[in-house]
Copies of this chain bind each other. A is one copy, B any other.
Amino acid sequence: MQARPERMIPVAELTGWDIETDVAVLGFGIAGACAALEAAWAGASVTIFEAAGGSGGASALSGGEMYIGGSGGTHVQRDAGFTDTTEDFAAYLTLAGGPDPDTAKIALYADQAVAHFAWLQEQGVPYKGNFLPGKIIEPEGDDTLIWSGSEEAWPFYTKAKPAPRGHTIQFTGWGGGRKLMDILEARVRAAGVTVHADARGRALIGDNGAVAGVVVRQNGRDITVRAKKGVVLATGGFCMNREMMRMHAPEALRCSTPLGTIDDGSGILMGQAAGARVIHMNEFFVTCPWYPPESLVKGIFINQAGQRFINEDCYHGRVMRTAVAQPGDKVWLLADNAIFGRPMEMARAELAAVGETWEEVESELGFAPGTISPTVAHYNEHAARGKDPVWHKAAKWVQPLAEPPFAALAFTPSESMFSYFTLGGLETLPTGEVLDLAGAPIPGLYAAGRTTAGLPRWGAGYSSGLSLADSSFFGRLAGRRVAARG
């Protein structure tokens, strides 16, 4: 038996089942954990197979932040003085979904996100409950609520009333995702879910048009797993699979750092082998932590033509996705002495030029005379009145770059810390049912997280916490649905 993700194995080829379970979950990131929990609570026997040595996946690499709002606001939002209607939340998610938002998932999540937040707390995920203002990437302390997207930035605020929606697990410093996964892992084990680590899903097993199980590689041999109710694919995206990146999202290969653990696309391939469609496979998230210090948001980014290309106060990932789409191999952030501060070491930005005049900076960067300096002059002229008529940066981030010395920081996707992961994948119903090429659910096959195209599906619309929110919420729905299968 040659087991590989790209081929579904007919049950007739098997000599027997090594393991039987109601529900087999592939992947023990947050999507798999939440699917397993709900399926187990609904009475199904559940087995998780995780290719790595333990739980976590890319979820454990994250900040442990969830994008949550609507229903008037979470108690944290309300305590901080923010109301957040379901309509505004849905409107924001729709903009964030780009040219093809998933309206069914948006409607459901916008309506139920606050209840999902309560559920997370019931699982023991702690939240300090305070609001941390400012323009930050992740709290350095153990704070909860932050502005984690483009809510206050043009054009988003014109369509959806802004509210901060990033809810961060109580954890001091960056990287609360590990703690989040530890808590959920404990809940999964308490629910009686069987967990196999170092167990990699190799191929689905098909029986007359339905998915009947999965072949798993463990301890050097292939074992056959009968999944009586179904298989949940939650193996993440494909940022670590260069061949898939080449085929679908070659633009991302300009960037230095795939952000994942295994993320080899095997879940997507297994789904395709079962007849599933894939959508938006070219889309990816990318960012570079170009601030803190937040004063740099008052700077302006330019491309190789000396032109601005975005309002710098929108979400850092939106800024950097747009930066990667610019011609040339790098972009520059221009700052004056009043706002300058070195970005974090990890950003690997280069101080490319310093000068007493913008003409000097221009020349030192090797630009033609009059390429950068008029861009700054025009920006400064309007900034003196708190305006940015071209890109609509909000007034509080707009001030003339007029205090020498002046500096240009270079950000190079291939060299600086540009980390990316994929957003395209299997198309699913909100219930996690995987759709075939004709748009009909494939019996016995479910998926969640970045194996699917979910709420986050447009690189220029990402907000921190959107993938964890999508993966956990729709992971839960997938778990409930598979457990209910007859």
**A contact residues vs B (CB 8 Å cutoff):** 4-7, 98-100, 243, 246-248, 250-251, 253-254, 269, 272-273, 275, 277-282, 305-308, 325, 367-368, 370-371, 374, 377-378, 381-382, 387, 389-391, 427, 436-439
**Pairs of residues from A and B, 4 with the lowest C-beta to C-beta distance, nearest first:** A368-B389, A99-B250, A6-B437, A282-B282
Q: Enumerate chain B residues within 8 angstroms of A250, measured Cβ to Cβ.
A: 98-100, 280
Contact check: which of B4, B247, B325, B439 meets A280 at CB < 8 Å? Answer: B247
Q: What is the bound-complex CA distance between A121 and B253, given in angstroms?
A: 42
Q: Enumerate chain B residues within 8 angstroms of A243, measured Cβ to Cβ.
A: 439
Q: What is the bound-complex CA distance between A438 and B389, given in angstroms?
A: 51
Is B390 a contact partner of A306 (Cβ separation < 8 A)?
yes
Contact status of A305 and B391, CB under 8 A, knowing A247-B427, A279-B248, A437-B7: yes
Q: Enumerate chain B residues within 8 angstroms of A253, measured Cβ to Cβ.
A: 99
Tell me the minimal C-beta distance from A419 to chain B in angstroms: 19
Q: Enumerate chain B residues within 8 angstroms of A382, measured Cβ to Cβ.
A: 368, 370
Q: What is the bound-complex CA distance between A381 and B378, given in angstroms?
A: 17
Chain B, residue nearest A8 (CB): B275
Q: What is the bound-complex CA distance between A246 and B98, given in angstroms?
A: 11
Extra inter-chain contacts (9) besides given A7-B437, A273-B437, CB under 8 Å: A4-B438, A7-B275, A100-B247, A250-B280, A272-B437, A306-B390, A368-B389, A371-B378, A374-B378
Chain B, residue nearest A457 (CB): B250
Q: What is the bound-complex CA distance between A6 and B438, given in angstroms?
A: 6
Is A248 a contact partner of B280 (Cβ separation < 8 A)?
yes
Q: What is the bound-complex CA distance between A4 and B436, given in angstroms?
A: 13
Tell me the minimal C-beta distance from A307 to chain B in angstroms: 5
Q: What is the bound-complex CA distance between A389 and B382, given in angstroms?
A: 25
Q: What is the bound-complex CA distance between A438 and B387, given in angstroms?
A: 54
Q: Enumerate chain B residues within 8 angstroms of A378, measured Cβ to Cβ.
A: 370-371, 374
Chain B, residue nearest A99 (CB): B250
Is A277 a contact partner of B7 (Cβ separation < 8 A)?
no
Q: What is the bound-complex CA distance between A308 and B374, given in angstroms?
A: 14
Chain B, residue nearest A390 (CB): B305
Chain B, residue nearest A440 (CB): B6
Chain B, residue nearest A100 (CB): B250
Contact check: which of B99, B277, B389, B437 meets A251 at CB < 8 Å? Answer: B99
Tell me the minimal C-beta distance from A106 to chain B in angstroms: 15
Q: Enumerate chain B residues within 8 angstroms of A307, measured Cβ to Cβ.
A: 305, 307-308
Q: Enumerate chain B residues within 8 angstroms of A371, measured Cβ to Cβ.
A: 378, 389-390
Is A247 a contact partner of B279 (Cβ separation < 8 A)?
yes
Tell me the minimal C-beta distance from A36 to chain B in angstroms: 27
6 A-B pairs within 8 Å (CB atoms) are namely A247-B427, A269-B437, A280-B282, A281-B282, A368-B387, A368-B390
Q: What is the bound-complex CA distance between A221 and B394, given in angstroms?
A: 63
Q: Enumerate chain B residues within 8 angstroms of A4, measured Cβ to Cβ.
A: 438
Tell me the minimal C-beta distance from A77 to chain B in angstroms: 30
Q: What is the bound-complex CA distance between A179 and B170, given in angstroms?
A: 71
Tell me the minimal C-beta distance from A470 to chain B in angstroms: 18
Tell me the minimal C-beta distance from A58 to chain B in angstroms: 23
Tell me the minimal C-beta distance from A367 to chain B in angstroms: 8
Q: What is the bound-complex CA distance between A367 and B368, given in angstroms?
A: 26
Is A273 a contact partner of B275 (Cβ separation < 8 A)?
yes
Chain B, residue nearest A379 (CB): B370
